[in-house]
């Protein structure tokens, strides 16, 4: 069995909750400035401050109570943890963070979103560095496979000394941790609800987007993979690419050879407009703007990909496993083109 496959199974064991229970995911009180309410609500900024500070019941004004109800309607209480990240399980993520810190892995604190910590995992090359790779999961909180695949990939890298020898990895498992905990695609901001993967080029995006931008900008990766899920890719997984397609084509050819299902045809929206234009099996172009991949590509990354796991073609566990395997192929293909 290849070394990466051993690491993959180690990662999947942790993802599926077969490891022993550890401490819960850290949740602390936000100390920064409180968000102002959406423009559509008449509540004042003071109402939002009162809510953020923990005021309840009669101590809240009528407008503040309406505002709190609207927030709770969009962000319901998370489902009870079942030991699997398929259920937006922050406890499973917390166990992974505890495990890595206990093993001496550097876990960086990037701040908080709604009281939930944003973490980054730094895995320097153990030998001469030839490649820098950044992996991001959970930017869309209702796509938990990205978080699970990011966690599984860290475990797989830790189990694969050969891969880590010449590659410096930086992994943000849950870029929108509050969204992940509550199963929400969009982020709550002072201006209302926004898609965090459409505002990476905006001058003043939500804090968690700014935190991820700063982390990736400081790291300066060659290859960036942002993990997502898609219901529109019915034939298999696909990556939306910015950059030279030659290396990703080699990686996806290897994935195809392993039997991983890949999107081959164009994808159109309900109105008939083109959503994804195919470049090669598993690789597409998109007109979506303001995404994480657009930001890192403009910052100098050689390859920037949004890796969409198909929700129509495969089940959850297979989707996570396939994304981890594709990540391995991308790293190995990128190393192929680097001088020793």
Distance between CA atoms of residues 310 and 313, nearest Å: 6
Distance between CA atoms of residues 264 and 243, nearest Å: 19
Q: What is the structure's pLDDT at 88? A: 73
Over its C-alpha atoms, the chain yields an Rg (Å, rounded) of 20
Within a domain: 305: yes
Give the confidence band of 191 by pLDDT, cuts at 50, 70, 90: confident
User: DSSP letter string over 169-187?
Assistant: EEEES-SSHHHHHHT-SSE
Q: What percent of the chain has pLDDT over 90?
A: 68
Count of structural domains, the chain? 1
Q: pLDDT higher for 254 or 88?
A: 254
Q: What is the 3-state secondary structure (H, E, C) of 71-120?
A: HHHHCCCCCCCCCCHHHCCHHHHHHHHHHHHHCCCEEEEEEEECCEEEEE
Query: Across the chain, what does the average pLDDT equal?
Result: 82
Within a domain: 61: no
- 131 pLDDT above the threshold of 60: yes
Within a domain: 248: yes
Q: What is the structure's pLDDT at 190? A: 81
pLDDT tens per residue across span 29-61: 233 333 433 444 344 445 444 444 444 455 556
Within a domain: 109: yes
Helices (H) and strands (E) in the chain, counts: 11, 12
Within a domain: 253: yes
Within a domain: 60: no
Give the confidence band of 27 by pLDDT, cuts at 50, 70, 90: very low
Q: What is the structure's pLDDT at 333? A: 98
Distance between CA atoms of residues 134 and 169, nearest Å: 6
Residue 214 lies in domain: 3-28+81-336
Within a domain: 185: yes
pLDDT tens per residue across span 99-118: 999 889 999 999 999 999 99
Residue 263 near residue 283 (C-beta atoms within 8 A): no
Residue 340, C-beta contacts closer than 8 angstroms, at least 6 positions apart? 130
Q: In what order do the strands lie in the sheet with 274-280?
A: 106-113, 116-123, 167-172, 131-136, 223-230, 303-310, 238-243, 283-286, 274-280, 267-268
What's phi and psi for 74, nearest 5 deg? -80, -35
Query: How far lies 317's CA from each of 80, 85, 224, 267, 314, in Å?
Result: 19, 10, 23, 24, 8
**CATH code of 227's domain:** 3.40.630.10
Within a domain: 66: no
- 241 pLDDT above the threshold of 50: yes
Q: What is the structure's pLDDT at 15? A: 43
- 28 pLDDT above the threshold of 50: no
Q: What is the structure's pLDDT at 236? A: 98
Q: What is the structure's pLDDT at 106? A: 96
């Amino acid at each position: 069995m290849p070394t990466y496959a051993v690491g993959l199974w180690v990662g999947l064991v942790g993802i599926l909750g077969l490891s022993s229970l550890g401490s819960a995911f850290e949740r602390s009180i936000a100390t920064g400035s409180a968000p102002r309410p959406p423009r559509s609500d008449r509540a004042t900024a003071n109402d939002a401050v009162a809510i953020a500070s923990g005021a309840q019941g009669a101590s809240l004004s009528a407008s503040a109570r309406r505002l709190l109800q609207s927030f709770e309607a969009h962000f319901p209480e998370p489902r009870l943890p079942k030991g699997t990240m398929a259920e937006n399980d922050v406890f499973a993520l917390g166990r992974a963070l505890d495990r890595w810190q206990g093993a001496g892995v550097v876990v960086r604190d990037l701040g908080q979103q709604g009281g939930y910590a944003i973490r980054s995992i730094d895995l320097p090359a153990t030998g001469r560095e030839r490649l820098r790779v950044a992996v991001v999961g959970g930017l869309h909180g209702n796509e938990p496979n990205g978080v699970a695949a990011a966690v599984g990939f860290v475990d797989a890298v830790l189990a694969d000394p050969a891969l880590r020898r010449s590659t410096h990895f930086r992994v943000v498992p849950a870029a929108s941790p509050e969204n992940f905990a509550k199963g929400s695609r969009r982020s709550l901001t002072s201006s209302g609800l926004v898609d965090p993967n459409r505002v990476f080029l905006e001058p003043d995006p939500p804090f968690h987007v700014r935190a991820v931008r700063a982390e990736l900008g400081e790291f300066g990766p060659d290859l960036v993979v942002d993990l997502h899920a898609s219901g529109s890719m019915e034939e298999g997984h696909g990556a939306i690419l910015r950059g030279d397609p030659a290396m990703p084509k080699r990686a996806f050819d290897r994935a195809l050879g392993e039997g991983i299902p890949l999107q081959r045809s164009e994808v159109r929206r309900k109105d008939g407009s083109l959503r994804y234009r195919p470049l090669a099996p598993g690789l597409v172009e998109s007109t979506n703007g303001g995404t994480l991949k657009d930001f890192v590509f403009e910052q100098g990354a050689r390859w920037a990909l949004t890796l969409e796991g198909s929700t129509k073609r495969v089940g959850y566990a297979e989707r996570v496993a396939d994304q981890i395997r594709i990540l391995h192929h991308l790293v190995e293909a990128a190393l192929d083109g680097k001088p020793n």
